[in-house]
Chain A
Amino acid sequence: MIECPSCRHQEFVGTLYCSECGTRLVSVSPVPTVSIARDRIDREAMATKPATPEGPELESGAILGLRLINSGEIRSLLGRDNYTLGRSVEGQAVIPDVDLQASDAYEQGVSRIHAEIRLEADGVYIVDLDSANGTLVNGKALEPQRPALAHHGDIIQLGRLRTQLISRFRSER
């Protein structure tokens, strides 16, 4: 399936105009969006107990960051109060602030603009941006477009890609 960039309606590969909103789909990448069976995501996520990250992660100097569970890589989030997470595709107009393409994002079912991390006065929020395969926090699926409070150490799963939130903000503050 491919996704209409304007209304996110799913169409078969090869479709030239979105049947929902009439948008021309020619410029959309002709490769299908990877869909992952729902139950598999949930099972994997449920099996994961969020481990509180210890010293080394925080010593990276990040006030806010994402640790990619598979590779251990840490992406620090600095200088803004919101970050979009996703993957870049050649020729894509809007590139996410945190580009996960190098981490096999496509194969892991990450949408191009998948989710957003927002810093608010009362803590860090995760918002799923109508992604194809959903966003889970500690194994719980987020409702699209509804911000959910997240805490240090929470497992944030984009499609099948697991990351852990590193945050020095105290949401209880």
Chain B
Amino acid sequence: MPGEPDYYALLGIPRNANAEQLRRAYREAALRLHPDRANQPGDTELFIQVNKAYEILSSDEQRSAYDLKLAAAEADQAARSSFRCDVQQSRRSLLQLDEPQVHYLLVDITPSESVPEHRPPINLSIVIDRSTSMRGQRLDQVRSAALTILKDMAPGDSASVVAFSDRAEVIVSPDQAKDMATARARLSLLQAGGGTEIGQGLQLGMEELQRNFAREGVNHLVLLTDGRTYGDEDLCLSLADRASEQGITINGVGIGADWSDRLLDDLASRSGGNVIFLDTPKVITGLLQRIFDGLSQAIAGRVRLDGSLAQQVDLRSSFRLMPDPMPLGDSLPLVLGNLTRQGRIRVLLEMVIHPIGQTDELNIAHFTVSGDILGGTSEASSLPVDVRIASARQPDPDPPPGDLVAALNVVGLYRMQEKARHEAELGQSAQAARRLENLATHLLAAGDRDLAKAALSEAERLTHTRRLSIEGEKVLKYGTRALLLLPAKAGGG
């Protein structure tokens, strides 16, 4: 927030911390960050800030003045913010324990009503894998899908088509895309042949996007591939990180069974995008249209969840549930993508809270939701969000929120599938098969017969061949992920 650093978050103490808590937190932080100890880069700067924080907060007079300024700054920022944020917690109070405990947060980000609705300009790059395996129906479908999207372009939009095998070239430049006849002719030149080097395609696609970068719009890269990239994974990941810094989201579309779902997931999750698994190329046109429609409805882009967690709190995992389910990382900031008028961004955070002793209240996190409001004049907006929780000797008797339970249930199934796959890779096929059978039971209970059947047949395959099929892996992964899109059973969504 402008001008007022949050010293409480810095020290990991609640805003109503007493002198003793403050002193303890300061000592702990000062010891940890002291320049005499072996430190990480940046610790010394933190050490200076911590000292400054202690200086202000330990003086009653300075502290009350600071509290007023901080509250005013935050209230002002919240009122002006274009975002609303609602946080549901799994419990209303933590237990005062000498051991770690798990706590979940369900964070909902919505636009405030004051945000004007304009269709944002769309800056799109379609990056197509034209390796030999794409030959035939796959490439035909991709070609016609690209053409359909180019037809839908509105005047302020910009689009390009890039194709790559072991090298990349621009097939349709943004200028050529404006004229359908030229675009059609250029697309017909697109022929399959060569290997798969995703990094080449990503790089060129991103260059095209930067050329027409839309500050007041969405900048989006759709990567269509059916194969594995060899040897340039690191380049891909660093490009995804750069994309995230520049505000470009990457959407991965995997066709068939041979593509690397882990790489695509990683690219999308770093940049706030999504990954879609297509077992048949026939639906590509419909899919690209849905992606395009989604982009045209965005009213805020480059949404992030940043901030600081209390010292006793570790983020163990995070999962974006809406608009597109996607596992995210275990460190802030979380890159969340676009927000639409009717939609919301919903994130599930799993945190481990280390022993909290006798404190009455813990300021779990001080988050900042930030993003750019699109359309008209682009402006950055942010919203500070404080998450606190009481602590008690007795467990909270109330059940956790229904939405949160329903989401955790499905995320649990997703993780079982991940575990089984991991075990299968380690050669523990009996264990993996047992886990998949267990997963099938849960899937049946959830009413998803097809997915349950897939899990069972993979379990059987494991006992016979000791490995999973590459297609089955993806069916289970994206199938359990898609369960999060269904209306929540417990408590309603």
Contacts and interface: CB of A to CB of B under 8 A. Distances in A.
* A-B complex: 10 closest residue pairs judged by Cβ atoms: A30-B395, A17-B412, A13-B101, A14-B102, A14-B101, A12-B102, A15-B102, A22-B412, A22-B442, A16-B408
B102 A11 contact: yes
A136 B147 CA distance: 74
Interface string B80-123: 00000000001100110101111110000000000000000000
B100 A12 contact: yes
Contacts of A32: 97, 99
A19 B412 contact: yes
A142 interface: no
Contacts of A26: 399-400, 405
Interface residues of B, number: 29
Contacts of A15: 102
Given A14-B91, A16-B90, A17-B408, A22 B438 contact: yes
25 contacts: A1-B99, A11-B102, A12-B99, A12-B100, A12-B102, A13-B99, A13-B100, A14-B90, A14-B91, A14-B95, A14-B101, A14-B104, A16-B90, A16-B405, A16-B408, A17-B408, A19-B412, A21-B416, A22-B438, A26-B399, A26-B405, A30-B95, A30-B396, A32-B97, A32-B99
Interface string A76-110: 00000000000000000000000000000000000
Contacts of A24: 405, 409
A31 interface: yes
Given A12-B100, A30-B95, A19 B400 contact: no
Contacts of B405: 16, 24, 26
Contacts of B400: 16, 26
How many A residues touch the partner, as a band?
10 to 19
B104 A16 contact: yes
Nearest to A15: B102
A22 B102 CA distance: 16
A22 B97 contact: no
Contact of B413 (A13, A16, A22, A31): A22
Interface string B396-418: 10011000110011001101100
Interface of B is mostly: mixed
Interface in B380-430: 395-396, 399-400, 404-405, 408-409, 412-413, 415-416, 419
B31 to A, nearest CB: 26
Interface string B224-252: 00000000000000000000000000000
A146 B332 CA distance: 48
B404 to A, nearest CB: 8
Interface of B: 90-91, 94-95, 97, 99-104, 352-353, 395-396, 399-400, 404-405, 408-409, 412-413, 415-416, 419, 438-439, 442
A12 B352 contact: yes
A15 to B, nearest CB: 5
Contacts of A12: 99-102, 352
Contacts of B415: 19
B102 A13 contact: yes
A11 B100 CA distance: 10
A27 to B, nearest CB: 10
Interface centre among B101, B396, B399, B438 (most CB of A within 10 A): B101
A141 B90 CA distance: 39
B108 to A, nearest CB: 18
B409 A17 contact: yes
Nearest to B99: A32
B394 to A, nearest CB: 9
A13 B95 CA distance: 9
Interface centre among A13, A14, A15 (most CB of B within 10 A): A14
Nearest to B412: A17
Nearest to A7: B438
Nearest to B94: A14
Contacts of A21: 416, 438
A13 B352 CA distance: 10
Interface centre among A19, A21, A22, A31 (most CB of B within 10 A): A22
Nearest to A17: B412
Contacts of A30: 95, 395-396
Contacts of B413: 22
Contacts of B439: 22
B436 to A, nearest CB: 12
A22 B395 CA distance: 22
A146 to B, nearest CB: 20
Contacts of B97: 13, 32
Given A13-B99, A16-B90, A19-B415, A31 B408 contact: no
Interface centre among B99, B102, B103, B395 (most CB of A within 10 A): B102
A22 B416 CA distance: 7
